[in-house]
Amino acid sequence: MAAEKLSTRHLLGIKDIDRNDIELIFETADNFKEVINRPIKKVPSLRDITIANIFFENSTRTKLSFELAEKRLSADIVNFAASSSSVSKGETLIDTVNNILAMKVDMVVMRHPYAGAGVFLSKHINAQIVNAGDGAHEHPTQALLDAFSIRQKLGDVAGKKVVIVGDILHSRVAISNILCLQKLGAEVMVCGPTTLIPKFINGLGVKVEHDLRKALNWCDVANMLRIQLERQDIKYFPSLREYAMMYGLNKQILDSLDKEIVVMHPGPINRGVEITSDVADSKQSIILEQVENGVAVRMAVLYLLASQRD
Ligand code: CP
C-alpha cells in the first residue's frame, strides 16, 4: 500500500524520492490513465493552479507531455522558450523566473542545460519546481514513465533485469533510470563503449558490460539511448557508423536472442544509429507506450505535488 502524500515538495530528482513515493505516483497514474481514455479526458483537479513551463533547451516529448498533463488537470499554463525570450539579452535565471512568478505562478516545470539548475531555483523562489531535465544530471519524470511502462508490460519492476545501452556518460535519463529501477527492486546493467561509461558508475551498484550481445542475453528489457552529440566536446568513438555496428540494436540481433526482450527508447530516436527502424517499430518495442504513459505519470506528479500546498 503506497503512502498518501509525497515526501517532497518539489520533484528535482529520483534521488530525493523513495519507493513509497514512486508507488504512490504509479497508483495515481493508473487512475489518470483511465481518465485520459475517457471521451472527456479532463478533470478539474488543478483548476486553481497556474504552471509555467520554462524550457531553456529543446524538447518535443517532455514539453508536449507536461502541457497535455496540465491541460487534462485543468491548470492554467504559460509557456516560455528561452530562445525567444529576454534571456538572449542577458537576463539571469533568477530574474527570469521571478518575473514569471510575479505573475502569480504556483509551479515551475523547467528544463535547463546545466546540472543542478532546478535545485538552485528551489532555494531561491517559493514556487514548486519540477525538473524536466537538467544537463547530464537527472530527468525524473522520464525515469518514472519508463519504470511505469515496464510495470505495465511485465507486471512488476522488482526482479526484472534492465540494461541501459549507449551514451551513459552524457545521459540524465540513464542516471534517473538507474536510481528509479533500483529503488523498485530491479537489477540494472549499463552497456556501451568504455569512453561513454562514466567512472562513477561503479558507485551506483550497476553491472557494466561492453559486449552488446552479452548484455541483451542477460536482460529482460533493453533501454536504448541516443548518442548525445550536443553534449560531446571531443570524439568518444571513431564514427557513428562504427558505433552502430558495435552498439546498434538491429532485427538480426534481436531475433537471435533466446527470449523476447522488451525494447525501450526515451526518444528522440536516431534511426539506424542506436536502433534500426524495424526494431523501433517492432512488436517488442514499447516506445510509443512510453510516450502515452508519460502524460498519465506527469499528471500524477503534478497532482500529488499540488496536494502538498497549504
Ligand atoms: N525523452 C525526452 O526527454 O525527449 P525530449 O527531449 O523531446 O523532451
Tens digits of residue pLDDT in 135-162: 999 999 999 999 999 999 999 999 999 9
Looking at residue 1, its pLDDT comes to 56
Looking at residue 254, its pLDDT comes to 97
Helix (H, G, I), strand (E, B) or coil at 37: coil
Ligand 1: list residues with CB < 6 Å. Answer: 59-62, 133, 139, 142, 266-268
Pocket test for ligand 1, best of 54, 55, 61, 142 (most atoms within 8 A of CB): 61
Looking at residue 300, its pLDDT comes to 98
Quick one: pLDDT band at residue 283, thresholds 50, 70, 90? very high
Atom of ligand 1 nearest to the CA of 58: 6
Cβ neighbours of 49 (radius 10 Å): 21
Q: What is the pTM of this model?
A: 0.95
Smallest CA separation from ligand 1 atom 4, residue: 61
Q: What is the pLDDT of residues 223-268, one digit of tens each?
A: 999 987 777 777 888 889 999 999 999 999 999 999 999 999 999 9
What is the pLDDT averaged over residues 73-92? 84
Decide which of 222 and 310 is more confident.
222
Looking at residue 310, its pLDDT comes to 64
What is the pLDDT averaged over residues 15-35? 98
Q: What separation in Å is there between the alpha carbon of 267 and the centre of ligand 1?
A: 6
* 111 assigned binding-site residue: yes
Q: What separation in Å is there between the alpha carbon of 213 and the centre of ligand 1?
A: 27
* 226 assigned binding-site residue: yes
Pocket test for ligand 1, best of 142, 171, 176, 229 (most atoms within 8 A of CB): 142
Q: What separation in Å is there between the alpha carbon of 258 and the centre of ligand 1?
A: 32
Q: What is the pLDDT of residues 60-78, one digit of tens each?
A: 999 999 999 999 999 999 9
* 298 assigned binding-site residue: no
Smallest CA separation from ligand 1 atom 3, residue: 62
Atom of ligand 1 nearest to the CA of 266: 1
For the chain, list the domains and their CATH numbers: 14-138+291-306 (3.40.50.1370), 140-286 (3.40.50.1370)
Question: What are the phi and psi torsion angles at 118 (to 5°)?
Answer: -65, -45
Nearest to 175 by CA among 225, 120, 136: 136
* 139 assigned binding-site residue: yes
Residue type, 53: N
Pocket test for ligand 1, best of 60, 68, 109 (most atoms within 8 A of CB): 60
CB-based burial of residue 167 (10 Å sphere; 0-12 exposed, 13-18 middle, 19+ buried)?
buried
Helix (H, G, I), strand (E, B) or coil at 109: strand
* CA atoms of 254 and 273, how far apart (whole Å): 15
15 contacts 179 by C-beta, under 8 angstroms: yes
Which strands form 187-191's sheet, in the order they lie side by side? 207-209, 187-191, 161-165, 221-224, 262-264
* CA atoms of 228 and 73, how far apart (whole Å): 33
* 89 assigned binding-site residue: yes
What is the pLDDT averaged over residues 34-55? 96
* 267 assigned binding-site residue: yes
Q: What separation in Å is there between the alpha carbon of 62 and the centre of ligand 1?
A: 5
Q: What is the pLDDT of residues 187-208, one digit of tens each?
A: 999 999 999 999 999 999 999 9
Q: Which three cell numbers stand for residue 260?
A: 523476447
Q: What separation in Å is there between the alpha carbon of 269 and the centre of ligand 1?
A: 10
Residue 3 has pLDDT above 90, yes or no: no
- Under DSSP, the state recorded for 117 is H
* 172 assigned binding-site residue: yes
Quick one: pLDDT band at residue 107, thresholds 50, 70, 90? very high
Atom of ligand 1 nearest to the CA of 133: 3
